[in-house]
Amino acid sequence: MKTVFLKSGQRFFAVVTLLTVVPATSAQDVCKPKNVDVCEIARQITDEISATLPMQLNRNLSIHTAFASLATINLTAKLNYSRAHLEKTLTSTGTDNGKMLDTLYQSAKNAVCTHSSKPEHFINHGGNVYYIYKFSDGTTYTTIKVDSCD
């Protein structure tokens, strides 16, 4: 075993080199899982969406933020009612919270997985879309992940 002594500057360079090379390799693996740069597609999609925000989807739901993080698109959706209103509505209609979550998941998936769309292409090549649903007071209701269009 050979011990190598580095001067202070050399040690710093070696550490910086290791820190910058390892994450880049990991990011490349994440960005091109199927030989398509899904990180670039994520940036393109969020740039397009951001130009139209806030986006009113219906009277009770709007998208307020969109940002990309590597191969992930994050969308913040604001529900135009409170948790108490949701619980009261679910009770009065005899619907449970699980059914509401299933409905939100299907809506999110349908929005992303439109046949031959850029978001569907993004998902089919390894990207993910997260919808973060928040109540009117800003508290989080749920997060829905769309990672498949099957």
| pTM, entire model | 0.79
pLDDT value of residue 28? 64
User: Residue 139's domain is classified under what CATH number?
Assistant: 3.30.300.250
Longest dimension (CA), the chain: 75
Does residue 1 lie in a domain region?
Answer: no
User: What's the total number of domains in the chain?
Assistant: 1
Does residue 2 lie in a domain region?
Answer: no
**Which pLDDT tens digits describe the chain residue by residue (150 residues)?**
444 444 444 443 333 333 334 454 466 678 998 889 999 999 999 999 999 999 999 999 999 999 999 999 999 999 999 999 999 999 999 999 999 999 999 999 999 998 888 999 999 999 999 999 999 999 999 999 999 998
Does residue 132 lie in a domain region?
Answer: yes
pLDDT value of residue 27? 62
How do beta strands 128-134 and 72-79 pair? parallel
CA distance 128 to 72: 5
> Under a CB-based contact definition with an 8 Å cutoff, are residues 63 and 57 in contact?
yes
